[in-house]
Amino acid sequence: MKKIFSFFSFLSKVFLLILLVAVGWAFVNVSNLIKGKKHQAKNPDSGDLFGADHALADVPGGSSTPFLAYSDGKKFIIENDILFGKPKSYYPVYRIARSLYEDGRIYPDLYKINAPIRPHGGKLRFQIQEIEPEESYFSWLELLRVIHPENSEVVVDSEFKKYYVVEKSVFEKNVILPASVTTSSGQDVTEKFSKKGASWRDSSKTDDASFLNSGQEIEMIFRGLKHGEIPHLVMKSWYRDWVLGMERDWQEERSVSSYPLVKSKMFVKMAAVATAVFGVWFFEKLGFNGSALILTPMVFGTQGGCCLVVEYRDASGEYERVAVADVRSWKMNTEVIEFPMQAIMENGEMRVRIRSSKKHALGFLGVIQERDLKKSSRAFTEEKLQLERAHHNRLDRDVVGVLSKTRKGEYVQTIPGDTVNLEFRASGKIPNKDEKETYLFRASGFYSALRDENARIAGDWRSRIPDEAKERLASLVSLRDYR
């Protein structure tokens, strides 16, 4: 009898393993479909790099984010989207996003405000606008005021942890432009990235920008680099033509593609996902919900869908990822991406590849090395301005107390149609004649797809958003319908 029980116990374990593999297989297929992953076309390089976007979406995840607007004294004007946390601040499911944030796995956004900011009545006024179908959760906010020389510019690093103040003339003298830039189809577009002065111009208002469609890529070669010095890629990007949408868009049932059960790559995926499913079940049984969520990105994807993937080619010819650059939607944004020294080959070349997961625009690409970056660095002073008021329109109350670093586990929630009016106390320090000021906005929190209950609360939110936002929203498509 004992042998019989042992035999059935063994069979049950085998059945459980098969079930886990089958569930893993289903997860891979369903999640691929939900996230917009498509089969590659027979000729993936086909298409016009600078024309209309007709490539298929093939990178999982998504990004939409709330917007920051500034006051010109009469009205609020959209500046750009914010809350781009690192490695990403968006997850489709609210509880996953919140758990990862509270576990310290989502780092704050740091955004350089491009518009000229002026005080009105001793206050600097901004507005957070939720103008797309999503929901956001702000933990704390900061406004930094940087006073620096007139002939310098502030540039944020791609990890949002620091910023540089660089003298423009020294930067332009030492920056190395790409010797060649080619698309994956072999098209030479070097001329598009041959202007040093383009690093400071707002390409979203000019014809400088070069559009990359979903799934397309460019490869560039930089020559004359010095060994033993860290290279930094300076990249200017902007543009997004889609919105996130409802959580049910990610969860609705769709027909599952049929793949042969045993295929080397698919089997590896199945095994990995089965392990993740088993791990989640196992840790939840032990009561470690946070640990279970660590495995969740294996199922949902670890990379956002609104981004530029930046890589370098190593000595063996393989590409190594350096950064996943989030692309701002409304205005251009310049950032500095630090590369490892081994990215420079013996002949002083560095090959960089940028892959676009959705339709985005590039306006400038250049490399400056550590010593030259320090040469162009200028002295500056920084102030943190006090947030005195944060009025939430839907709640009709001041939430300034919640937006403090000391209030752990509390959030200011925004759903479509919401605005939060922010007032910071203006600084009393006046820049000298040879100085100017730049403001940086730091936001910490997370966001997720819009849930049905919050969609009902939002109601007819499209009729309540500013006309500027309505015009922008009319030109966008849903992520689920993205082509």
Asked if residue 246 has pLDDT above 60, the reply is: yes
Average pLDDT over residues 464-475: 91
- pLDDT given for residue 301 in this prediction: 38
Residue pair 214/58 in contact (Cβ under 8 Å)? The answer is yes
Asked if residue 282 has pLDDT above 60, the reply is: no
Asked if residue 265 has pLDDT above 50, the reply is: no
- Residue 232 burial (CB count, 10 A): 23
What are 351's two structure tokens? 């090959």
Asked if residue 268 has pLDDT above 70, the reply is: no
Residue pair 363/275 in contact (Cβ under 8 Å)? The answer is no
Please name the amino acid found at residue 231: P
Please name the amino acid found at residue 286: L
Average pLDDT over residues 211-221: 91
Residue 8 banded pLDDT, cuts 50, 70, 90? low
Q: How far apart are CA 408 and CA 187, in angstroms?
A: 52
What are 270's two structure tokens? 């199945």
- pLDDT given for residue 460 in this prediction: 96
Helices of type H across 202-317: 248-251, 264-286, 289-295, 297-300
pLDDT in tens, 411-427: 999 999 999 999 999 99
Q: Among 120-124, 302-306, 351-355, name the one with the lowest average pLDDT.
A: 302-306
Q: Is the dihedral of CA 141, 147, 150, 155 positive or negative?
A: negative
Spatial CB neighbours of 84, under 8 Å, sequence gap ≥ 6: 63, 65, 109, 111, 160, 326, 328
Asked if residue 23 has pLDDT above 60, the reply is: no
Q: How far apart are CA 142 and CA 404, in angstroms?
A: 9
What are 304's two structure tokens? 């956002």
Residue pair 143/438 in contact (Cβ under 8 Å)? The answer is no
- pLDDT given for residue 34 in this prediction: 40
Average pLDDT over residues 321-347: 92
- pLDDT given for residue 458 in this prediction: 95
DSSP state of 452: H
Residue in 426, 435, 354, 443 with CA at minimum distance from that of residue 154: 435
Residue in 425, 107, 84, 62 with CA at minimum distance from that of residue 250: 62
Is the pLDDT higher at 305 or at 165?
A: 165
Distances in whole angstroms, Cα of residue 415 to Cα of each of 96, 250, 363: 18, 18, 32
CA atoms within 13 A on the CB side of 2: 0
E-only strand ranges, 150-239: 152-157, 163-167, 180-183, 210-212, 217-222, 231-238
Phi, psi of 324 (to 5 degrees): -115, 105
Q: How large is the greatest C-alpha to C-alpha distance in the chain, in angstroms? A: 94
With tokens 């089965």, the residue in question is 274
Average pLDDT over residues 117-136: 95
Average pLDDT over residues 257-269: 42
Domain ranges for the chain, please list them.
60-240+306-483
Asked if residue 280 has pLDDT above 60, the reply is: no
What are 209's two structure tokens? 């920008």
Residue 7 banded pLDDT, cuts 50, 70, 90? low
- pLDDT given for residue 407 in this prediction: 76
If you average pLDDT over every residue of the chain, what do you get? 80
pLDDT in tens, 432-446: 999 999 999 999 999
Asked if residue 9 has pLDDT above 90, the reply is: no
Q: Is the dihedral of CA 243, 249, 255, 257 positive or negative?
A: positive
- pLDDT given for residue 351 in this prediction: 97
- pLDDT given for residue 439 in this prediction: 98
Asked if residue 76 has pLDDT above 70, the reply is: yes
Residue 13 banded pLDDT, cuts 50, 70, 90? low
Helices of type H across 83-178: 94-102, 168-174
Q: How far apart are CA 428 and CA 309, in angstroms?
A: 42
Report the DSSP beta bridge partners of residue 243.
478
Is the pLDDT higher at 194 or at 267?
A: 194
Average pLDDT over residues 88-116: 91
Residue in 378, 366, 357 with CA at minimum distance from that of residue 56: 357
Q: How far apart are CA 469 and CA 461, in angstroms?
A: 11
Q: Among 2-16, 96-110, 293-307, 338-352, name the one with the lowest average pLDDT.
A: 293-307
Residue in 64, 40, 58 with CA at minimum distance from that of residue 358: 58
pLDDT in tens, 154-211: 999 999 999 999 999 999 999 999 999 999 889 999 988 887 766 666 656 656 678 8
Q: How far apart are CA 272 and CA 27, in angstroms?
A: 11
- pLDDT given for residue 92 in this prediction: 85
- Whole-model pTM: value is 0.78
